[in-house]
Amino acid sequence: MAKEVVKKINLQIEAGKATPAPPVGTVLGPAGINLGDFCSKFNEATRDKMGDIIPCDIYIYDDRSFDFVLKTSPAAYLLKKTAGIQKASKKGANEIVATITKDQLRAIAEEKLPDLNAYDVESAMKEIAGTARNMGIAVKGMNDAELAEQAAEAAEEEKEQAKREAELEELEAEAKEMATASAEVPTHADEEEQNETEEENN
């Protein structure tokens, strides 16, 4: 009789470094499986990818045994690793934070191909290139014209932003000067009060 899958859990774990401590233990502990057994099997299976982030689908059966299927590292992780950056662009495609070559893109696409909805490497490359673009990572030799146009637009936008900031500072300075001048000029009421005081003194 086939065992029944009672739960499927998705985790992303650093290759070769799974331990029963959180977050692995926190997620898998309530499922009742042997944490030490899972960690040793996962670490053995991912030893050759030490340090990479590996997505893992864990299938837990009714007798508390388990199987797991390793996936390829997330495209965003592979792109950042290849480009040598810690974080993607906060402005998306409007800010280029790194550049990779077409060959590097192909290598990532070939690695990710089994997990993508792509029929061949060329299709996978287009998909990964789209992810790279949204992260602000340029692909040399693939979208140079588009990147040049984006860079020009970004430069123009920065120029406009600087102009707006300068105008705002000028307005604030004028408002401050007017406020200071108003405080220094005596009002009509102040003049009357001063005249009355002078008359009383006389």
pLDDT tens digits, one per residue of 80-130: 999 999 988 888 778 888 899 999 999 999 999 988 888 899 999 999 999
Question: How confident is the model over 117-163, as pLDDT tens digits?
Answer: 888 999 999 999 999 989 989 898 766 566 666 666 666 777 787 88
Please determine whether the domains at 5-70 and 75-142 fall in the same fold group of CATH.
no
Please answer whether residues 108 and 82 qualify as being in contact, where contact means their C-beta atoms are separated by less than 8 angstroms. yes
CATH number of 75-142: 1.10.10.250
Of the two residues 4 and 141, the one the predictor is more confident about is 4
Contacts of the segment 78-83: beta carbons below 8 A, 24+ positions apart: 78/108, 78/111, 78/112, 79/108, 79/128, 79/131, 79/132, 79/135, 79/137, 80/135, 81/52, 82/107, 82/108, 83/137
CA distance 46 to 101: 27
Higher pLDDT, 148 or 35: 35
56 pLDDT band, cuts 50/70/90, is very high
pTM > 0.85: no
The mean pLDDT value of the chain amounts to: 84
| CATH superfamily for domain 5-70 | Ribosomal protein L11/L12, N-terminal domain (3.30.1550.10)
Q: 78: which DSSP letter? A: H
Nearest to 24 by CA among 46, 3, 2: 46
List Cβ neighbours of 194 (8 Å cut-off, separation of 6 or more): 186
Domain regions of the chain by residue span: 5-70, 75-142
Closest CA to 132 of 149, 115, 152, 112: 112
Mean pLDDT to the nearest integer, 44-49: 92
Distance CA 26, CA 138 (A): 38
